[in-house]
Amino acid sequence: MPEGKPLVVDADAALLPTGLALECFWSALGRAPLATMGAVLRNLGRPARLKAILFRLASLRADLLPSRPDVAARIEQARAAGRPVTLVSACDARMATALRDAMGLDAEVMASDGATHLRGAARRRALDAAFGRDGYDYIGPPRRDDGPGPAQSAGWQWRALLRALRPHQWVKNVLLLLPLIAAHDFGWSLLGPVLLGMVAFSAAASSIYIVNDLLDLEADRLHPTKRHRPFAAGAVPIAVGMIAAALLALGALGLALAIGPALLGVLALYMGLSLSYSLRLKRMRWVDIATLAGLYTIRVLAGAVAAGVPATGYLIAFIYPIFITLGCVKRLTELTLATSDERLPGRGYGRPDRGDLLNVAGLGTFGALLVFFLYGFSETGTELYPRRWLLWLALVPVAAWLIRMVWLGWTGKQDYDPIVFALRDRYGLALIFFTLTLMFYAAGLVWPDWMRP
């Protein structure tokens, strides 16, 4: 590398693995979704002006942005050698300046100014005019006539993207099987569409997880464990995540349509509510818990629609308060494990809310148990469960499971996601299997000869 040559670093494609412009867009979208989308639609042909508006809407914390260590090391080497360093960006100059200051770089800034969009050929022409065509070393995407060069951007790995899809969360879609279990109908003609529905919901959920992660970049980077998520850590570019989310969403909707228009409607409702949750509802106290419970309940409805069996009011009335309880457990766990008394990043809860969350969890537990008990008196319950005393006996392990979940959340002894924790907790799983066993005996589906009347 020649001595004294200026070093020019592309902040968008080389220094930041996620992309500065897209960081700004998603930050703005999370804070002001309507204003952001309006700005995008009004300025599609004016990218420099659009990026200036996004900068004003975003309030992006440049000090939290991930950078590529190898590029940062080359900048430090250039500074140590006394060579001038310039950051070049297609983003607004104020955003590039904030990035430079946050990283403590002694560098000049060359960026878009709201009128001139410094990108692609325009950028290289500006650099050539400022330094001469061969008068600087460049870290960023090469020109077509540059050859491969030493300044390629670092890549990403498929397994990091797979981790962003959160495949371990797909197990939540076993909830689609509940209507079949409640109806005591396990024929393949009904089970097949439900299994396909589970695939559709898994793809839809992964697309929403990506969107949620992109909207939560700042909050995740402030979180003790979520800061390691692929997009927050810079392991996967934001553009890759956007493409993956779009493909997953289209695939999920297409599969749901193939199963039936009714399931497509339910899935669209799920995705729309999930998107509303990611954009706004998750920041609203209590509304977020009610929405989470609704999203889980929609999965149960989807199973009923896919199989063509009824989802009784008792089933919905039983499921919803259970997920209200688990939503409270999720927030209790986060507050218990929090390292300060400040409100949770991106959420509306602080440690003073722990008592209220515990009370609501208790109400959800009581409500679910009451509905379970009353179901035994219903016409459907009497028909499906002739041995009602065994059905009511199943209240004991159900109550024990719910109380255990609340207690573990209160003491901070479980995972940040209670559903995932429940599916790994061997004691909790034993209680669930015991409950199902009692219900099968109550229904007469399993009944040893020596116990027959």
Q: 121, exposed or middle or buried, with CB in 10 Å at 0-12, 13-18, 19+?
A: exposed
Q: 391, exposed or middle or buried, with CB in 10 Å at 0-12, 13-18, 19+?
A: buried
Position 447 scores a pLDDT of 54
Q: Is residue 50 within a helix (H) or strand (E), and if so which, with residue range? A: helix 47-58
Structure tokens at 196: 């396909």
Residues in the chain: 453
Position 323 scores a pLDDT of 93
Position 363 scores a pLDDT of 96
Position 115 scores a pLDDT of 64
> Helix, strand, or coil here: 421?
helix
Position 252 scores a pLDDT of 97
- Backbone torsion region of residue 184, taken as left when φ is above 0, otherwise alpha when ψ lies between -120 and 50, otherwise beta: left
Question: In the 3-class helix/strand/coil scheme, how is 199-219 assigned residue by residue?
Answer: HHHHHHHHHHHHHHHHHCHHH
Residue type, 367: G
Residue type, 385: Y
Position 147 scores a pLDDT of 36
Residue with tokens 């998603």: 26
Position 450 scores a pLDDT of 42
* Concatenated DSSP letters of 422-443: HTT-HHHHHHHHHHHHHHHHHH
* Concatenated DSSP letters of 156-197: --HHHHHHHT-GGGGGGGGGGGHHHHHHT---HHHHHHHHHH
Averaged pLDDT in 10-residue chunks for the chain of 453 residues? 73 82 90 91 87 85 85 84 84 82 80 70 78 82 44 67 91 90 80 94 96 91 86 91 96 96 96 91 89 94 91 89 93 83 74 90 96 91 88 94 93 80 87 90 66 48
Structure tokens at 7: 């070093």
Structure tokens at 429: 């799983």
Residues 6 or more apart whose CB falls under 8 angstroms from that of 267 comprise 200, 201, 204, 252, 253, 256, 302
| 327 within 8 A of 365, measured Cβ to Cβ | no
Which contacts qualify for 362-366: CB closer than 8 Å, 24 or more apart? Answer: 362/406, 363/321, 363/324, 364/321, 364/322, 364/323, 364/324, 364/325, 364/328, 365/321, 365/325, 365/399, 365/402, 365/403, 365/406
Position 148 scores a pLDDT of 35
pTM of the model: 0.83
Q: 284, exposed or middle or buried, with CB in 10 Å at 0-12, 13-18, 19+?
A: middle
> Helix, strand, or coil here: 237?
coil
